[in-house]
Chain A
Amino acid sequence: MSSSSGTATRRPSQMFRNLNAKIASIPMILTALCVFLGGTVWTIVYSFTNSKLLPRLKFVGLDQYERLWSAPRWLTSIENLFVYGILSLIFSLVIGFLLAAMLDQKIRFEGVFRTIFLYPFALSFVVTGLTWQWILNPDFGVQHLVRSAGWESFTFNPLYDQQIVIYGILIAALWQGTGLIMCLMLAGLRGIDEDIWKAARVDGIPMWKTYLFIVIPMMRPVFITTLVIIASGIVRLYDLVVAQTSGGPGGASEVPAKYVYDYMFLAQNLGQGFAASTMMLLSVAIIVVPWAYLEFGGRKRG
């Protein structure tokens, strides 16, 4: 041993600790910084310009935002997203959980039912939209069927009625998405210790109470994953609307993501599209960033 026990080695540079882990994370770091953060900053900067077809740095202050908030279509879009978002969140969670709870009752043909509930998730929103547009078409879909069965005054044409068109979209969205939610919930239920059920039975607690007060609180991580999936889907709602109604009738089913796309690419008014993007990013940031930071930012484990 040449190095006597008295010598002190200096703390090596932090740069090279876990060097391999850092190298392996380069794609993630680049994506986070260049795409998500960089793209966001870029979008925000250009939202203050009057860029038309191509991005140009001619600043016009808040003009784009003033126009955005006075556009009836944008207001409709926000309102639609709000209604759709709340209903979609509630129904996805409730239906997903109820289906999972029913499948968890030691039933026969569980696999068959599970596959039936899950298969729509394999289909794209475009396919979902087309199919439901077809089923909800008043001239040959459900309304036609009921009317030809004798109930002449029956009216069910959500895609052609401005007041309820957003519910027509919701029906299709739930059809497509609840299977995955059910799957997540089912996985969560299977992760519950069986002793809990024994304890509840011994204590004579009714089943619904056990679910509500014991099981659901224990499934917090599942609900968080589910929430991320549902919520990110809500903000991104676009394909389904385009495939089902193209925003119609009369712009009654417009959504913010479509506003962004249309103004960026159809109207060739990038500035306006970026302003709408910024508003979306802002609302996402207000809701998601504090939560994500609490959930993932702190030093957990250990």
Chain B
Amino acid sequence: MADVQTLNTVAVGIDPVADRLSGPQGARPKRVLSRRNIFLYGTLIFVAAYYLVPLYVMIVTSLKGMPEIRLGNIFSPPVEITFEPWVKAWATACTGLNCDGLSRGFWNSVRITVPSVIFSIAVASVNGYALANWRFKGANTFFTILIVGAFIPYQVMIYPIVILLREIGLYGTLWGLVIVHSIFGMPILTLLFRNYFTSVPEELFKAARVDGAGFWAIYFKIMLPMALPIFVVAIILQITGIWNDFLFGVIYTKPDTYPMTVQLNNIVNSVQGVKEYNVNMAATILTGLVPLLVYFVSGKLFVRGIAAGAVKG
């Protein structure tokens, strides 16, 4: 009897139908305090600690004053909590003559990320759809090139892209950067969407064709509404990728449009006398805040979206 009750308590909170994809399906547990569970939770908690330490260190350090950092070790909690490093990182840290911290970069990052995410996903989803359902001659060759492109280090492509953007006159513009992000996001995103659309029953696509829907009608009316989970995955991946980008941000923009990461680099590397670790850490957390929030809020959707098609073959 005890076993049954344990099972029930474990199952509480997991809606067996709605959460089919995210609910556990592995071997089932036996008893809460069995040796196996102690081992399981022990390991998980230990590993979780390893993953959390850097975040802890970042937060703790950012709340300390410089004298305390010089004396204590990095793991001890702050004796005296100060928010000054945060204020400085956000509003007054200097790079050269500009002393407005990360605040300017934040809006630049938003301005870069939003159109880049929308544009790159729009292009990649149409690609994936065309590849999965329309398969015109040669399509797979282009796709193969694209997948190989996923392995090309960005550094290798900087120069050709400088030339490309110069030739089409978009160098140094926001749209230039949007195109660069779309190009480098394309391989993985296209793979993602192609896999997802391939897993949609082909008969659905055929039915729509018999119903008279063309390429775009099928995309917008049939495929798009069904692809929401994978769109969530793509949006999360792109927001993090583009928000965190440094290389393209520094090379393909100008100082007044520098994204946050470039300013983070400027703050961290603008050593004025001693390294202000507390300010650096605060700046680091501030820069990572947007993608972190995205993950904390939509982590569950992320796993579900991946399960819904990204990993099918």
Determine direct contact between A and B, CB below 8 Å.
Answer: yes
The contact of A27 among B123, B140, B191, by CB within 8 Å, is: B123
Is B153 in contact with A117, judged by CB distance below 8 angstroms?
Answer: no
State how many angstroms separate the Cβ of B233 from the closest Cβ of chain A: 10
Complex Cα–Cα for A189 and B306 (A): 11
Complex Cα–Cα for A301 and B131 (A): 12
Residues of chain A with a CB closer than 8 A to B61's CB: 134
Is A105 in contact with B287, judged by CB distance below 8 angstroms?
Answer: no
Is A39 in contact with B161, judged by CB distance below 8 angstroms?
Answer: yes
Complex Cα–Cα for A25 and B280 (A): 44
State how many angstroms separate the Cβ of A52 from the closest Cβ of chain B: 13
Find the residue from B61, B186, B190 having the highest chain A CB count within 10 A.
Answer: B186
Write 23 A-B pairs (CB below 8 A) sorted by A numbering: A28-B127, A28-B143, A36-B148, A36-B149, A55-B159, A103-B44, A106-B29, A107-B41, A114-B303, A116-B48, A119-B55, A121-B295, A123-B288, A131-B284, A135-B74, A144-B73, A191-B311, A221-B311, A224-B313, A270-B159, A284-B148, A284-B152, A296-B143
Is A111 in contact with B300, judged by CB distance below 8 angstroms?
Answer: yes
The verdict on A189 contacting B26 (CB below 8 Å), with A113-B44, A124-B244, A232-B151 known, is: yes
Is A38 in contact with B160, judged by CB distance below 8 angstroms?
Answer: yes
The verdict on A120 contacting B41 (CB below 8 Å), with A257-B155, A264-B158 known, is: no
The verdict on A126 contacting B265 (CB below 8 Å), with A184-B306, A197-B27, A235-B153 known, is: yes
A231 within 8 A of B: yes
A161 within 8 A of B: no
Complex Cα–Cα for A145 and B243 (A): 34
Is A33 in contact with B145, judged by CB distance below 8 angstroms?
Answer: yes
Question: Interface of B with A (CB < 8 Å)?
Answer: 10-11, 21-29, 40-41, 43-44, 47-48, 50-55, 57-58, 61, 69, 73-75, 123, 126-127, 129-131, 134, 136-137, 139-161, 163-164, 182-183, 186, 188, 190-191, 195, 198, 202, 214-216, 240, 243-247, 261, 264-265, 268, 277, 280-281, 284, 287-288, 291-292, 294-296, 299-300, 302-303, 306-307, 310-313
